[in-house]
Amino acid sequence: MQHHPTKENWTETIGRETGLFSLNFREVWRYRDLVYMFVKRDFVTFYKQTILGPLWFIIQPVLSTLMFYFVFVVLAKTQGKGLEAMLFILCGQVIWTYFSDTLNKVSTVFTSNAHMFGKVYFPRLIMPLSITVSGLMKFFVQFIIFITLLLIAYFRGAEVRPNWWLLLFPFLVLLMGTLGLGLGMIFSSLTTKYKDLTFLLSFGISLYMYATPVVFPLSTYGKYQKYAELNPLSGIFECFRYGFLGKGDFEPVMLIYSTVSVLVILVLGTLIFNKVEKSFMDTV
């Protein structure tokens, strides 16, 4: 920091050297209404789009669930059959979609908002935050479908055993969103500078899905299970599925591990994002 001993009390100095920890949370808080506005914009424009608009939210997970059902249940026979298996996959799908959408959008936040960022200043952190919150909209539409199917299955006497763990669901969603946000912010710094990484990233995300128990139980990994448990997502997925379906091998310690890793990633992501946001306009 170039320091000039002056008696004046400047509100702010726009300068070059900014420490890694010079994060202005007060400013972010002052702009909190903007998060609300961006989320509202996404909500409003989403409903004003097409008649099919909201329907796509439903079609997508249903189709991919059917496909995964065909591959993993009918062909590979990794698990039981019928509605239960279907619910098992859909459950994973719904939360995975929220996570991957958030990660994808946050990681390209600089390039896709370059126009707005180039014209007006607001704490850039607002943008990833509102992306994460906006994503909840799609998530809840898909979640309702899942719950509807779950209720049908339950009353038809299928083998699903919802239990008290499902009350943790808001916390699990928070963890998913935070992880997507944190990882996204880490990658955003890279995709801004080296654009090729955008393609690598979407490829990486689809690979990551197979490293996560999304469409099959954790036990599928067999002797690799202990490595799979290192994935912070494993605990979240297992807990979610255990709470709603009573399936899988979930242990509370996994969730604690997930929470800690998510927090570490969030802090790391915020620091990196804060570093990049100051000069990204010159590289975009």
Partner 1 sequence: MSIVLKAENVSKQYRLGEVGTGTISHDLNRWWARVRGKDDPFLKIGETNDRTSQGESDYVWALRDINFEVERGQAVGIIGRNGAGKSTLLKLLSKVTKPTTGNIQYKGRIASLLEVGTGFHPEMTGRENIYLNGAILGMTRKEITRKFDEIVDFAGVERYIDTPVKRYSSGMYVRLAFSVAAHLESEILIVDEVLAVGDAEFQKKCLGKMGDVTKGEGRTVLFVSHNMGSIRKLCDKGIMLNNGTIQGMGEIEEITNLYLKGNSDQTLRLVNFKSRNSSTISINSLSIAAEGKEKNDIFDITDSLVLRISYEVHRDMKGTNISFALNKEGILLFRSWDIDKNPELFLNRKKGSYKAKIKLPSFLTPGNYTINLSAGRTNIGPIFKYEDCLSFDVENVIIDGSATSFTRGGMIRTDLVWELN
Work out whether 44 is an interface residue with partner 1 (CB under 8 A): yes
Buried b / exposed e over 259-270, threshold 16 CB at 10 Å, is bebbeebbeebb
Is there a contact between 135 and 101 (Cβ–Cβ < 8 Å)?
A: yes
For 3, 11, 33, 85, 279, the CA distances from 7, given in Å and listed in that order, are 12, 13, 34, 70, 29
96: nearest Cα among 63, 61, 69: 61
Rama region for 249: left / alpha / beta (φ>0; ψ in -120 to 50; rest): beta
Only one of the segments 79-87, 110-118, 152-160, 228-236 lies at the binding site for partner 1 (rule: CB under 8 A); that segment is: 110-118
Least separation in angstroms between residue 129's CB and partner 1 is 13
Q: Is 8 in the site for partner 1 (CB under 8 A)?
A: yes
Q: State which residue, 20 or 167, has the beta carbon closest to partner 1.
A: 20
Q: Which residue of 22, 24, 49, 112 would you call a contact of partner 1, by CB under 8 A?
A: 49
DSSP state of 73: I
Binding segment toward partner 1, per CB under 8 A, in 32-40, 66-74, 201-209, 259-267: 32-40
Which of 10, 21, 155, 164 forms a contact with partner 1 (CB under 8 A)?
Answer: 10
Choose the stretch contacting partner 1; rule: CB under 8 A; options: 147-155, 190-198, 206-214, 250-258: 190-198
Return the closest-CA partner of residue 265 out of 143, 99, 135.
99
Alpha-carbon distance values, 112 to 28, 43, 177, 178 (Å): 21, 18, 20, 20
Q: Please answer whether residues 219 and 225 qualify as being in contact, where contact means their C-beta atoms are separated by less than 8 angstroms.
A: yes
Measured from the CB atom, the residue of 157 and 282 that comes closer to partner 1 is 282
Residue 12 binds partner 1 (CB under 8 A): yes
- 155 touches partner 1 (CB under 8 A): no
C-alpha span between 65 and 224 (Å, rounded): 25
Least distance (Å) between residue 106 CB and partner 1: 18
Query: Using the rule CB under 8 A, is 9 a contact of partner 1?
Result: yes
Residues 121-140 as x/- pattern, contact with partner 1 by CB under 8 A: xx------------------
CB of 3 to partner 1, least distance (A): 10
Q: Which residues bind partner 1 (CB under 8 A)?
A: 2, 4, 8-16, 18, 30-31, 33-34, 36-38, 40-41, 44-45, 48-49, 116-122, 193-195, 278-279, 281-283
